Amino acid sequence: MTTLTHVGGPTVLMELDGWRILTDPTFDPAGWRYGFGWGTASVKQRGPALSAEDVGTVDVVLLSHDHHADNLDDLGRALLPGATAVVTTRPGARRLALPNARGLAPGETTRLTAPGRPPLTVTATPCRHGPPLSRPVAGAVVGFALAVGDRSGVAVWMTGDTVLHRPLRRVARTLDVDVLLLHLGSVRFPQTGPLRYSMDGRDAVELLALSRPRVAVPVHYEGWSHFSEAPDHLRDTLAADPRAGSLVHWLEPGIPTGL
């Protein structure tokens, strides 16, 4: 069984076969405004359900990207040196310059071991954090597929911040996923009009049809001013599709949930 605790935004504590894994650490309070480059910015509208101290010891941090504050903020960054391993993008690992940081490109894998626990295999999956040709602006981003011990299949797949694009569809068809952690929200900025930088509910329905996980958990869809899809609309979109609606589990922030 996998236990998930949603801290807020993209930040989830995963307890998986003795491993304590934290995704995209964000612990700053609400009300702060952060720049994202090229004139774009966003305001954090909701603080974390738990503090970093409440979360406690972490073995692994899965950091989809280090250069946007809604995925790594100041208090989240302070937590990184205390983790056994921080797995992120190759450019992110270089920027962090931490001895525990491991950089992966999409398709690359790293294997983590610890006494008394099964090995944890982390494979980076493709992300495109915006429309075509946006990578020079949006930067490198990855998702993560986690496998435990010698079991077949993926225990958890975290999509990371991405639009639905061809490499993501291709990976979704090949993975045998237990729990799918979906980054949604349909990010938009006034400066770039209708262009989207993350998936919306309709994209989630398509991705679920391709990947067919045992359960899907939406995260990172509220609490920031740059999300353009209202949470109620997202819920209605997923509930309206009988295949998607039966798979989706909504987490209560701060409450450990076994899946």
Is 80 part of a structural domain of the chain? yes
* Inter-residue long-range contacts of 200-204, CB under 8 Å, 24+ positions, other chains counted: 200/228, 200/229, 200/234, 200/237, 201/229, 201/233, 201/234, 201/236, 201/237, 201/238, 202/237, 203/163, 203/164, 204/234, 204/237, 204/238, 204/244
pTM surpassing 0.75? Answer: yes
- pLDDT tens for 53-77 read 999 999 999 999 999 999 999 999 9
183 found inside a domain: yes
Band of the pLDDT at 192, cuts 50, 70, 90? confident
Write the burial class of residue 132 (CB in 10 Å: 0-12 exposed, 13-18 middle, 19+ buried).
Answer: exposed
Beta strand 40-43 with 101-104 is unpaired
pLDDT value for 53: 97
Q: Is residue 202 part of a domain?
A: yes
- Strand positions, DSSP E, 38-115: 40-43, 60-62, 85-89, 101-104, 109-112
Is the residue at 185 inside a domain? yes
CATH number of the domain at 27, please: 3.60.15.10
Q: Is 255 part of a structural domain of the chain? A: no
At residue 133, the pLDDT reads: 79
The total of structural domains in the chain comes to 1
Asked, for residue 171, whether it belongs to a domain, the answer is yes
Does 145 map to a domain?
A: yes
Q: Is 259 within the bounds of a domain?
A: no
pLDDT in tens, 104-147: 999 999 999 999 999 999 999 999 999 987 887 789 999 999 99
Residues of the domain holding 151: 2-249
pLDDT at 187 over 90: yes
